[in-house]
């Protein structure tokens, strides 16, 4: 394994002076290191990977210096448009270094939503015409690899990539900002919500630990998972899946269990929901101010007002809660409101260390959920 400081120093020696991206579990130690050691005006946690590439473009235009853009390989989709239509050598030719966590690497165990992306990670870079190197996991080889990367970066004046396998970085203890030390955990908030649901209510949950905690609580209650669509991938898109279902099932209440990072990643979805005005849509954003599923890096969730944004987008009712008593009261309020209604719940970060994963496959979840919708 390689040290986070060594890797950071190699990057800055090569000319990187700006860091931007969306955190990934394979990169969490390095992301934690730069969060602790790079000034805030030189390190931005972007809303999504496409925005991160655009920030790298702007930085180069202003300074002629390189940016490091970090992401999980699932973010290649969000990043493809600006990589092809802005940074590509056939357009502007903007150099930047992509650092990509290789989830779903062939031959390695991983969650099902990463299998396909893992298979196509390298071939997608080939299709985009972006040269790549797999980051060595020994400190002796890192400097040689980084030297080749920067030589290509200067020669091409266009993006190049480093691919990171699981276990490449040494562990780093990220100094977490505890500003979000509220009464409830996310799991406790989910239990309070589920306890208020009716038998015909529909639930769509966002990717990451939210869906895992929902699944485990349904197990605790007796194991009926058919009412829930677990959006195990596609971060930020649970609300649009929810919108389409709500419009197709207007007589049944739908609850979208979202996260702050996911809602911010595709915030334009709030405008579409508000403009469609589905009266049965209940949007619950559980805000812990962090990318909790991939290392706890901070979001801007506590720096903005998601309720004010939703109201400006056309939501008919918006509420905020921070305690168990308030959550119980506000769930009743959104149930009684004509939607789209939004409840933002502020919770502490973190999850149980023994939190499990869904035992059913995504296809089984889909089939059971569709049968529930058809009833």
pLDDT in tens, 177-229: 655 579 999 999 999 999 999 999 999 999 989 999 999 999 999 878 999 99
Q: What is the C-alpha separation between 285 and 127, in angstroms, rounded?
A: 37
List, by residue range, all CATH 3.40.50.970 domains of the chain. Answer: 4-164, 179-374
pLDDT score, position 149: 96
pLDDT score, position 290: 87
User: What CATH class has 4-164?
Assistant: alpha beta
Edge to edge, the sheet with strand 202-205 lists 228-230, 202-205, 254-259, 281-287, 341-346, 317-321
pTM of the model: 0.91
pLDDT in tens, 281-333: 999 999 999 888 777 788 999 999 999 999 999 999 999 999 999 999 999 99
pLDDT score, position 178: 55
Kindly report the backbone phi and psi dihedral angles of residue 207, in degrees, each rounded to the nearest multiple of 5, phi listed first: -65, 160
Instruction: Considering the domain delimited by 179-374, tell me its CATH architecture.
Output: 3-Layer(aba) Sandwich (3.40)
188: which 2 tokens?
């406790």
Nearest to 150 by CA among 133, 171, 163: 133
Mean pLDDT over residues 330-349, rounded?
A: 96
Q: What is the mean pLDDT of the chain?
A: 94
Please report the sign of the dihedral spanned by the C-alpha atoms of residue 309, residue 315, residue 320, residue 324: negative
């Amino acid at each position: 394994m390689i040290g986070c400081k060594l890797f950071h120093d190699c990057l800055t020696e090569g000319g990187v002076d700006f860091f931007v991206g969306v955190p990934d579990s394979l990169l969490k130690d390095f992301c934690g290191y730069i969060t602790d050691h790079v000034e805030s005006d030189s390190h931005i946690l972007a809303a999504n990977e496409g925005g991160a590439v655009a920030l790298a473009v702007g930085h180069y235009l202003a300074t002629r210096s390189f940016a490091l853009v970090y992401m999980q390989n699932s973010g290649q989709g969000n990043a493809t448009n600006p990589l092809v239509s802005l940074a590509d050598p056939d357009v502007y030719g903007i150099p930047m270094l992509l650092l990509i966590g290789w989830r779903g690497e062939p031959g390695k165990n991983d969650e099902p939503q990463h299998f396909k992306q893992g298979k196509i990670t390298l071939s997608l870079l080939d299709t985009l015409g972006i040269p790549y190197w797999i980051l060595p996991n020994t400190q002796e080889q890192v400097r040689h690899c980084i030297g080749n990367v920067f030589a290509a970066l200067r020669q091409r004046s266009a993006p190049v990539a480093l691919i990171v396998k699981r276990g490449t970085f040494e562990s780093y203890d990220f100094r977490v900002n505890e500003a979000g030390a509220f009464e409830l955990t996310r799991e406790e908030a989910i239990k309070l919500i589920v306890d208020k649901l009716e038998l015909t209510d529909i639930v769509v949950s966002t990717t990451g630990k939210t869906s895992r905690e929902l699944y485990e609580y349904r197990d605790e209650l007796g194991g009926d998972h058919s009412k829930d669509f677990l959006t195990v991938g596609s971060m930020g898109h649970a609300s649009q899946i929810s919108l389409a279902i709500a419009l197709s099932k207007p007589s049944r209440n739908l609850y979208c269990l979202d996260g702050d990072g996911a809602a911010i990643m595709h915030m334009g979805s709030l405008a579409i929901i508000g403009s469609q005005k589905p009266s049965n849509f209940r949007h619950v954003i559980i805000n812990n101010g962090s990318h909790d599923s991939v290392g706890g890096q901070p979001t801007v969730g506590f720096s903005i007002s998601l309720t004010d944004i939703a109201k400006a987008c056309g939501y008919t009712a918006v509420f905020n809660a921070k305690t168990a008593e308030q959550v119980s009261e506000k769930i009743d309020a959104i149930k009684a409101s004509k939607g789209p209604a939004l409840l933002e719940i502020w919770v502490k970060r973190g999850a149980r260390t023994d939190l499990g994963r869904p035992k059913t496959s995504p296809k089984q979840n889909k089939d059971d959920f569709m049968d529930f919708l058809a009833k």
